Each structure stands twice: as C-alpha cells, then as structure tokens.
Structure 1
Amino acid sequence: MLTVVDTSENPAHYSFIEKKSEFIADACHINSLDEAVEFVESIRQQHPKSRHVCYAAIIGADQAQFQERMSDDGEPSGTAGKPILQVLRQSGTTDTVIAVTRYFGGILLGAGGLVRAYSSAAAGVLKTAHVSEVIAAQQFSCTMDYAQYAVMQRIIAQYHGSIRNESFTEKVAIECAIPVDKSNDFENAVEQTFHATIKPIRTEFGSLMG
C-alpha cells in the first residue's frame, strides 16, 4: 500500500479543462476521516464560487481495516465521489483524501463524461503527489510520569513507532503507533523498562509511513 505524504497545508495539485468546466484536484495525507472532512472544507473555502467540491478518502493499512468516505456534493449520484474512490482503490493508495473542485462551464457533460472527468482528476493528482509505503500499525495509549517521558520516547523510536497525540496535565498521556510486527516486543520492553508501572493499552489498528 502507498500513501500521499503531501500535507493539507501544501497538498498535491492538478487541474484541467473539460468542455469549459474546470476541474481542480487536491490530495493530502490524513490520519482520520475527520481530517478528510476538514481538508475538503478548507478547499471549499478557497473556492467559494465553485459549483461542486466532491471528494473521496480512505484510511487503513489493509483492506480488512479500510474506512472510506465520499461525496458527490450535488453532482448526479455515483458520478463524482465513487470514481474518485475507485481511483484510490485501484492505485493501492490509503490514508489519503482527494478533493476535486468543479467550476461549471455551461456545457453538460452527462453521467459518463462526469465519471471520466472526476476519474481523470483523481488519477492526475496522484501522479503529481509525493508518496510513501504504508506499514500496518497497532495503536497504543499510555499514561506516565514526566520523569518517564523521555525514556518512553526512546522506546517508541527504537521500535520504529510514532507519537500521534500527547497531553500534559498532572501526568503525560500519549497515543502512539507501532508496526504490528513489533507491537508485542514494544509492550514487553515498556513493561520491563518501567517495571510494570506503565501498561500500554491497545486501542485500534492504524498505519505508519515507511
């Protein structure tokens, strides 16, 4: 599996004209479907006069874990969001959202023309995007004392993991992702290092960029 690594602040970009309608595609990396919706809304704000902002998004490291979302945003049902989603599926791309903005040019494209246009926009933006391999990951939550935090950071790095979220109150709470094939060793290392004073809690499956 692959993922787009371009960020929401600097997404991959592609555009073309089809029968006087302009199609503008933007794609970026996401860690949740909520992030996809936020990205689409930011694109919508950039194009207040556009007729449609259609999109599709996938997250998950393999087909058994996939979560998907799409929207035709007023285009005829099945002519926009679904073709974009199909391009993501066929390209083996995950943890990615593609938003396609359309400025209507006054000429109706018909259902077939819309499917081809939105498919072309999605495929085009993936060709311009920076991509990376995706690794299946187990996500954990952990709570610790401040004095333990630096050591925990080193253990996460040792097992090629990534910290996703942190909060600092009376204690430090973190959410991290560890490659699935290293998750058992990570748990054992944490419990042995901290003499079972920290218990990593498995939450859900996710992914990491390779």
Structure 2
Amino acid sequence: MSQDYAVPALAVGDFIEVETEIKRSRFICFLARITSRNEALMFQSSLKQRFPDASHHCLAFIAGPPEGNTVVGFDDDGEPGGTAGKPMLNVLQHKGIGELCAVVVRYFGGIKLGAGGLVRAYGASVQAACDELPVEQRVAMKTGIVTIDYASEQVVRHLLEGFKGEVVSHAYSEAVNLEVSLPEVEHQSFGLRVSEASKGQAIIRWSDE
C-alpha cells in the first residue's frame, strides 16, 4: 500500500531560493520537488547552466517517501568528500519531507572554511531554505474502472465527489465505464456505496488488485 507523507508545496518547475553568507562565501540553496534521481540531476544541471561561474553546485535529494526503501543521493561537486552533499542530505532526512531536492550553489569568498566549516555551512544553508519551504500532504490515490448502467451514472459521479475523487475518463457502450481516482483510504467505502446504489450490479476493477 502506498502512503501519505509531507512533500514540498511546489508545482513542477517551481523552486525556492535562500541565500546565506559565511566568511564571504555565498551559499545559495535551491529546493524543488522531484520524484526521481534523473529529475534531481536535471535540476542540478539547470543550476550549473544558470550559475556557470559558481565554485560548486552541490546536490542532495530524496526521490520518494522520507522513510523506508526510497531513492536518495548526493554529490559533493568538487568539495572535499563528505563535506557538502552528505550533510545536506542529513538535513533533508531529519525534516521528514519526501520528494525533495536541494542544490547549494557556492561562490567562494577567498577564506577557506576547513572540512568542519564546510559541513556546517552546507548544512546551515539547506536548513535555512527548509525553514522557508511550504509543505503539503501527499495523499495516496487509488484508481479503477467502474462499470455501471446508464441510470446509475449520475449517482456514482455524485458519490465519487463526496469521497473527494474525480472521473479521469469515461467510455460509453452497452454500459458506462468510468475511470475514477480517489484517496486510497476511501476506496473500500466508495465501493460499498456504489454496490448499494446499483443494487449489486456495478463492477469495480481497481488498478492493483
């Protein structure tokens, strides 16, 4: 079963940007919502193109739920090993937010921070950005096909609306076939209500059952 969890309240292509300065070095943290390693790498690449003169473009991401068996990764992008990407990822993991990517663009200010200083600086940069990040709850959805007679269509549509679902597509032939999507926690109750309304004549085929 899929699960509900917190995710960035950002549309595709949107991001937030927060800049901090530590010993003359600029650390500009960008946060975006991603669902795969490839999307994270593409986001990092886009910032390398936007800031080609920056010293580093370090990456950390969680490409799924914040806990459990999920895809995570990081990239120090030329900083000493373990001083950038890993501390960035540690901050993300402690936030309990899924589908989150952080890229910190650094402009070196002429003063070396040392390994410990870099760890603190990159962690603080991501922390500052996360403090500004809008978050929403990702609701696990269930899809299926409801096959009903024409007389029951409007009743089923009304029931679906009450369960905060929607009709994704429809097809009309001898019967009505509605492709529906609704919160996973509601799908069994919805099925019972549809069965009652159609006097047991409706057929529901859920996508993963």
* TM-score between the two structures when normalised by the length of structure 2: 0.70
Check whether the contact 2:65–2:97 (CA below 8 A) recurs between aligned residues: no
Helix, strand or coil: the match of 2:105?
A: strand
Work out whether 1:15 is the aligned partner of 2:19.
yes
* CA-to-aligned-CA distance 1:30-88 (integer Å, 9 cap, x gap): 23332222222211111011121111111333522432121111111111111111111
Helix, strand or coil: the match of 2:79?
A: coil
Helix, strand or coil: the match of 2:43?
A: helix
Q: Which among 69, 80, 87 is matched to residue 84 of structure 2? A: 80
C-alpha distance in 2 between matches for 1:46 and 1:152 = 50
1:46-125 maps to which residues of 2 (within 5 A)? 46-61=50-65, 63-125=67-129
Structure 2: gaps (5+ residues): 148-154, 170-178
C-alpha distance in 1 between matches for 2:71 and 2:180 = 20
The 1:8–1:82 alpha-carbon spacing in structure 2 relative to 1, beyond 3 Å, is farther
1:101 Cα deviation after fit: 0.5
* CA-to-aligned-CA distance 1:100-133 (integer Å, 9 cap, x gap): 0011222221110110010010000011221123
Structure 2 letter corresponding to 1:107: I
Q: Which among 179, 186, 191 is matched to residue 182 of structure 1? A: 186
1:139 Cα deviation after fit: 6.3
C-alpha distance in 2 between matches for 1:111 and 1:27 = 24
In our comparison, the structure showing a higher alpha carbon Rg is 2
* CA-to-aligned-CA distance 1:156-184 (integer Å, 9 cap, x gap): 76654689x99xxxxxxx997x5443355
Please provide the CA RMSD for this pair. 3.8
C-alpha distance in 2 between matches for 1:12 and 1:69 = 20
Structure 2 letter corresponding to 1:79: T
Identity %: 31
* TM-score between the two structures when normalised by the length of structure 1: 0.70
The 1:138–1:187 alpha-carbon spacing in structure 2 relative to 1, beyond 3 Å, is farther
Helix, strand or coil: the match of 2:68?
A: helix
C-alpha distance in 1 between matches for 2:101 and 2:157 = 30
Partner of 1:126: 130
Helix, strand or coil: the match of 1:41?
A: helix
C-alpha distance in 2 between matches for 1:152 and 1:68 = 41
Check whether the contact 1:61–1:134 (CA below 8 A) recurs between aligned residues: no
